[in-house]
Amino acid sequence: MGDMMKGNIAIAEAAVRAGVQLYAGYPITPSTEIMEYLSGRLPELGRSFVQAESELAGINMVMGASACGFRALTASSGPGISLKQEGISCISDEELACVVINVVRYGNGLGTLYSSQCDYFRETRGGGNGDYRCIVLSPSSIQEAVDLMVPAFELAEKYRIVTVFMTEGALGQMMEPCDLPDFIEPERHAWALDGKYTYKKIGIFDRDSMKEAVELNEKHALIKANEQRWESGYVEDADYVFVAYGLPGRSVMGAVEELRAEGRKVGFIRPITTWPFPEKAFAEVNPGVKGFISVEANATGQLIDDVALTVKKTFRERNVPTWCLPCVYGVPSIKSTKEGLARIMNGELKEAY
């Protein structure tokens, strides 16, 4: 068993060991410990740390480092990630590679400091203007977050895409035992800036633009086909399947264990990639399943849309209902999840779709 580590610190050290050469960003709770830790750690290793004058400046510094072929990182939360969207869209347009950490907090506008999952729509739909997607990784534990850091950069570089590392405020602030990976020294890629850098942007309106659009869709399709990640359990005979990611995913797994012990045929799917959404996991579910239930830490229900779309595609010959249990912020309890199932089975909760 590894040392007890705070989530943000473990994630930051994992990024160091993954070969990050530049961190550029601006402080915002509950992500600030990542920046604070790297402000001392990166210079120790002869690497670059910049506290930028704004979130906009930070993401554009990341774009510059990425264009030079170096592993670059930024982190923020809520409104800070919103401010970075123009840069993320430009990085996507140039098909560069970087990692953006969002330690999600609850609320619109400036929001609050409560842990939440209310940024799901933004992160899984691209977030900024234009036609693009980001790979989105959503860990449910500190150890999983650490283990996903190297793959985050490898996926970004493999597909020349932005990888969003979507954690939650509670995950960043909690402490758990954690084993850290070994240091690696990534190589600069052949497409890195060498004084002759040119790249024909997707979306230029000429006779080749359709070809470029086709290539973009082919890349997204390739990612969907090959990079879906999830954890599931008890789905083969389940009457009801819960779907939840991140910390709610952990809580749901506990609820499923208790419900199974009580004789209820329930299962769970925990997405690890929230984009690409793990549609393949649904193909493993009992064909006679009675319904799917998303459990989310937001007010309106967001994950439920992807659940319902996937259920529609997977069970084309019959209507399988879906329900949503939004707990607003924080982490849903095992008790509340079990109570939600009881309300559904008693007909007290209206279907979402």
Can you list the domains of the chain with their CATH numbers?
3-226 (3.40.50.970), 230-345 (3.40.50.920)
Tens digit of each residue's pLDDT (9 = 90 or more) over 266-320? 999 999 999 999 999 999 999 999 999 999 999 999 999 999 999 999 999 899 9
Instruction: Give the closest residue to 180 by CA, choosing from 332, 12, 56, 293.
Output: 12
Q: Are 113 and 105 in contact (CB under 8 A)?
A: yes
Instruction: Say what the pLDDT of residue 210 is.
Output: 75
Which helix (H) or strand (E) segment holds residue 246: the answer is helix 246-261
Which tokens go with 51? 């506290």
Q: Between helices 246-261 and 334-345, what is the axis angle to 10°?
A: 60
Tens digit of each residue's pLDDT (9 = 90 or more) over 68-107? 999 999 999 999 999 999 999 999 998 999 999 999 999 9
Average pLDDT over all residues of the chain: 94
Strands (E), 179-286: 230-233, 240-243, 266-271, 273-275
The residues near 270 (Cβ < 8 Å, ≥ 6 apart) are: 140, 230, 231, 232, 243, 244, 245, 249, 250, 252, 253
Report the pLDDT averaged over residues 176-197: 82
Sign of CA dihedral 176, 182, 183, 186: negative
Rounded to whole angstroms, how far apart are CA atoms 223 and 159? Answer: 8
Instruction: Say what the pLDDT of residue 187 is.
Output: 85
Q: What is the pTM of this model?
A: 0.95
Instruction: Say what the pLDDT of residue 105 is.
Output: 97
pLDDT beyond 50 at 203: no
Q: Between helices 7-17 and 142-159, what is the axis angle to 10°?
A: 40
22 pLDDT tier (thresholds 50, 70, 90): very high
